[in-house]
Amino acid sequence: MYFLPLVLRELRVATRRRLAFRVRTAVAVATMCLSIWLLLVADGWGVATNLGHFVLELLAVLGMAGSTLAGLL
Amino acid sequence: MSQERREGTLGLLFLTDLQAHDVVFGKLAAKAIVPFFCGLSLLPALAICVVVGGVTGGEFWRVFFVTMNALFCALSATILTSIFCQRQRIAYGMALFGLLTLTVILPLGGNLLSIWTRIPVWGHLAGLLTPTGSYLLAFDKSYQMAPGWYWGSMIASHFLGWMFLVLACLVLPRQWKDKAVLPPRKITRERTLFARVNKHKRLRDELLAVNPVTWLGTRPNASATLIWSLPLAALVLWLSTDIDPLGNWGSQAGFTALAAVHALFKIWLAADATHAFSADRKTGALELLLGTRLSVRNFGGNFVEAEVFHTLRS
């Protein structure tokens, strides 16, 4: 296997993309908004265990969506 | 991979010491490195759920493994589809369709089949081959009922990812080369196509004398023909189901499907229309048009005219 130069080339090309910075910023802002919203609605959950499971499910859905669409983005 | 094919650089890669598997694994590693670190950064956030309570350590690790496995599977499928396509939009469309099949259509189809035939094993088998199946089984409630199905699904979907990669390694050396002369059985079909193209060319020649912008916008485009499958699908849906947003679940599902088809039609049409500008800019055709006597003010109107003409004609 001799693929590391190819990986290096691909990553260099990716860093030159204009959209890369914008996408990163948009994802960071979206995650912050989501976290703030979660903190705001946390009071309504009563039992902490429900909140823990809800956050896990939410992060799992986001992780799955991100992983599935990683090849397209 | 399709971009490499479009730009003709894939052949150059094969002039070096690289083999097909080097190229495939190189692409996979390059594409996976950023999402993999994103996945790693998700770990502390997931661990907070364990601290908050209600989530076990096993559940935490299972969710993480499922996410990483889905990443591997999806990237392998995307790399395989991109090898077969040269045009960007077709490559995106094919990859999206492949991923939708893998994550939504296959498990949903399996479940519907198991409901229809009343044999639950179809649903389990469909879930076994997809990352969605292992995701649904990763949570404690489902895992405790069937731990074997979870691990089976993880292994099967991981194996599927490896199969995609092996297939990509086998197909890649054949795909980047120029195609050979057409076999005899294809010649008749090609003749029919040429006749159609000639007819279209005559029509376009008339348009060129009237307006070059409209002429440019009426290039042969399969997407403009395919778009009419959506209104047809909407018609079939409307005739076959009772559409009512406030009715029973069947009517509501029909209404949602109709709304989705409607939205997809509009998005497709808009994407098709806007793609013309960017494609012409990339090929330099827009620059050539701007060098003519045409005023910029007329451009938008003529592009709309060309798009309407092209879509309606097909």
Please state, in angstroms and rounded to a whole number, the distance separating the CA atoms of residues B68 and B35. 9
Q: What angle do CA B143, B76, B120 make, to 5 degrees?
A: 35
Give per-residue pLDDT as tens, A33-70. 887 887 777 666 666 667 788 888 888 888 888 888 88
Q: What angle do CA A65, A67, A71 make, to 5 degrees?
A: 110
User: Does B196 reside within a domain?
Assistant: no
Reading the block at residue B283, the tokens are 């090929």
Q: Report residue A22's pLDDT band, with 50, 70 and 90 as the boundaries.
A: confident
- Cβ-in-10-Å burial (0-12, 13-18, 19+) of B113 comes to middle
User: Does B201 reside within a domain?
Assistant: no
Smallest Cα distance from B59 to chain A, Å = 9
Percentages of chain A per state (helix, strand, coil), in multiples of 5? 85, 0, 15
Specify the DSSP element, H or E, that contains B218.
none
**Position B46 pLDDT exceeds 70:** yes
Average pLDDT, chain B: 79
Please state, in angstroms and rounded to a whole number, the distance separating the CA atoms of residues B306 and B284. 18
Residue B49 pLDDT: 85
Same domain, yes or no, for B278 and B147? no
User: Does B184 reside within a domain?
Assistant: no
Residues of chain A in contact with residue B92, where contact means CB-CB under 8 angstroms, are: 72
What single letter denotes the amino acid at residue A60? Answer: A
Assess A42–B contact: CB distance below 8 Å, yes or no.
no
Residue B303 pLDDT: 60
Same domain, yes or no, for B235 and B143? no
Q: What's the maximum distance between 2 C-alpha atoms anywhere in chain B?
A: 74
Domain boundaries, chain A: 4-69
Q: Report residue B102's pLDDT band, with 50, 70 and 90 as the boundaries.
A: confident
Same domain, yes or no, for B169 and B216? no
Same domain, yes or no, for B117 and B164? yes
User: Does B192 reside within a domain?
Assistant: no
Q: If you average pLDDT over residues B250-256, what whole number do you get?
A: 80
Give per-residue pLDDT as tens, B204-235. 677 666 666 667 666 666 666 778 888 888 88
Half-sphere exposure (CA, 13 Å, Cβ side) for B1?
A: 33
ipTM for the predicted complex = 0.78
Q: If you average pLDDT over residues B41-70, what whole number do you get?
A: 88
Ramachandran bin of B273, using left for φ above 0, alpha for ψ from -120 to 50, beta for the remaining angles: alpha
Residue B182 pLDDT: 53
Domain boundary at B147, B175, B203, which?
B175
Residue B270 pLDDT: 82
Give the residue from A3, A8, A59 with the most B CB atoms within 10 Å of its CB, the best one to mutate: A3
Same domain, yes or no, for B146 and B220? no
Same domain, yes or no, for B226 and B79? no
**Position B189 pLDDT exceeds 70:** no
Same domain, yes or no, for B232 and B127? no
Same domain, yes or no, for B27 and B88? yes
B70 vs A11, A47, A67: nearest CB: A67
Q: Give the range among B9-18, B45-54, B117-126, B214-223 with minimum mean pLDDT.
A: B214-223
Chain A residue with CA closest to B13: the answer is A6
What single letter denotes the amino acid at residue B199? Answer: K
End-to-end CA distance of chain B: 31
- Cα separations (Å) of B221 from B35, B38, B218, B305, B307? 35, 38, 8, 16, 11
Assess A67–B contact: CB distance below 8 Å, yes or no.
yes
Q: Give the range among B17-26, B47-56, B157-166, B285-294 with minimum mean pLDDT.
A: B285-294
Give the residue from B12, B14, B31, B160 with the most A CB atoms within 10 Å of its CB, the best one to mutate: B31
Same domain, yes or no, for B171 and B238? no
Q: Report residue B66's pLDDT band, with 50, 70 and 90 as the boundaries.
A: very high
- pLDDT > 90 fraction of chain B, expressed in percent and rounded: 10
SS (H, E, C) B263-301: HHHHHHHHHHHHHHHHHHHHHCHHHHHHCCCCCHHHHHH
Assess B15–A contact: CB distance below 8 Å, yes or no.
no
Q: Give the range among B28-37, B72-81, B195-204 with minimum mean pLDDT.
A: B195-204
Domain that holds residue B223: 211-313
